[in-house]
Structure formats: C-alpha cells, structure tokens
Amino acid sequence: MSEMKIHALDCGIGRTTILRNVTWAAEPGTMTAIVGVNGVGKSTLLRCLAGITRPHSGEVQIDGRNVHRLPPRKRAKLVTFVGQEETPPGDLTVGETVALGRLPHRRPWEFGGRCENEIVHDSLALVGMETEIDRPCDQLSGGQRRRVLLARGLAQETPVILLDEPTNHLDVHHQLHLLGVLRSTGRTVIATVHDLDLAMVYFDSVVLLHGDGVLAAGPSGQVLTPERMRTAFDVGALIADLDQARNPHLIVDTL
C-alpha cells in the first residue's frame, strides 16, 4: 500500500491553468473519489497525478517520490492509469490486451511465462471476463471493453490505481462489483466519479472540485453535504439514512 500526496498543485491543458493550489493526501489502501461539474478539470487533474502531463507548479508524490521525476518505466510500476475514452485495440484478443499491463515488469523482448499468464487470467476473473480471454476486442460491447481495460490496469499490479470514470458503460451490477473488487485489492485508488451517491457510499474520501480549485476534501459524508451540493452543482440534495440500508445515501431531489 502506498500514499499519494498532492501539494500546491497547479495543472491545466497546455499553458492554460485550470486548477490551482490543489492539496490533499490519499492515505494508503483507501479509495478517493474526485467529483465536480463537467469541465471543472477532473480528468485534467487525474492525468497530472498519473505523470502523463506535467504540473504548472506544485508536486505529486508517491511514498515520498516525485511522480514527474521518475523514468516512465519506474513510474509504471507505481501507478496505473485507465482513461475515460480508452478503447482496447480491436485486433488484439482480450488476453493479449490485459497482458499489456505486464510490460513494465518485463525485460525488453521478454515473453510472459506461466506466472504472467496466471496474473492475466486472475485479473480477468476479477472483472468477470475470464471466459472471454481468446475473444477479439472488436467483438466486445462497450461495457465489456471497459472491464477489459480495468483488468489490464489490475494486471499492472501497482500500489496506486488512477481511474477516469471507471463505472462508465457498466450496468448497475457491474458498477457495484467493480467497486468491491477495487476495495478488495487493498491498493490506493483515486477515481473521477459522476455518480455522487456511489462516491458517498463506496469511497472513503471525496475531493470536491469547484471553480479553479478544491472546495472541500475529506471523508465522503463530511464533504458531500446538501450545502456543498448547492454550491458546487446548483442542485437541492438530502442525505437519507434508512433503516433498510447499510449506509446513508445522497439523493439529488431538485434543481
């Protein structure tokens, strides 16, 4: 398990700064949801955390190591990134696509052995796609393609996993199953999430973006309050704590 610390981070697209002075820490083995309105900079922030784009200022650390100063191969052993718009190569099979997650752990020109194949199979089993291992990716549905990419990320076996809208294209069963799988890995997970109730119930902490920075960050129940829902999303919301439910739920009720 690893800790990710973000300190005074300014990030954006090209020379345009979108988010300023982003500061928080993701504790080892916890799940953090990044939420906010469309266009606020959730995906931009996540790509910066992954080391794909450089910050305009500030620093991202994993266990004290600056992500942006690491060689790509070393960084790929620490942090996994699964983008929102990624699609697996259509000319590869499901198993071949997931095996790409093992590349940071191999020497050049090395082929995967028995252990590598077991990791690929186990990763597919976690997302319920092990029976499709030999199926071409261009024959999969949108939800199945999403699960294959998530399996590739799991196969990378990094202590930190960054996911951009991981529940997109998944039906409700597979949404909940995926979040349970991520929890069971014990890894540090940071994900952008549109479904505020999922963020409330299944994530330990929430980072709420608003304007050009962080409106609030902390335990999900303390961040996702009706007052902040009005400020950040301009909607009326309430917290329902039902006897029949395991957890309190966030309900968006009115504009």
pTM for the predicted model, two decimal places: 0.94
Arithmetic mean of pLDDT over the chain = 93
**109 exposed, middle or buried (CB, 10 Å; 0-12, 13-18, 19+)?**
exposed
pLDDT score, position 74:
93
pLDDT score, position 110:
58
Residue type, 255: L
pLDDT above 90 covers a percentage of the chain that reads: 83
pLDDT in tens, 197-248: 999 999 999 999 999 999 999 999 999 999 999 999 999 999 998 888 888 9
Asked if residue 109 has pLDDT above 80, the reply is: no
pLDDT score, position 209:
98
Fold category of 4-219 in CATH? Rossmann fold (3.40.50)
- Scored b (16 or more CB within 10 A) or e, 30-56 reads bbbbbbbeeebbbbbbbbbbbbbbebb
pLDDT in tens, 161-184: 999 999 988 899 999 999 999 999
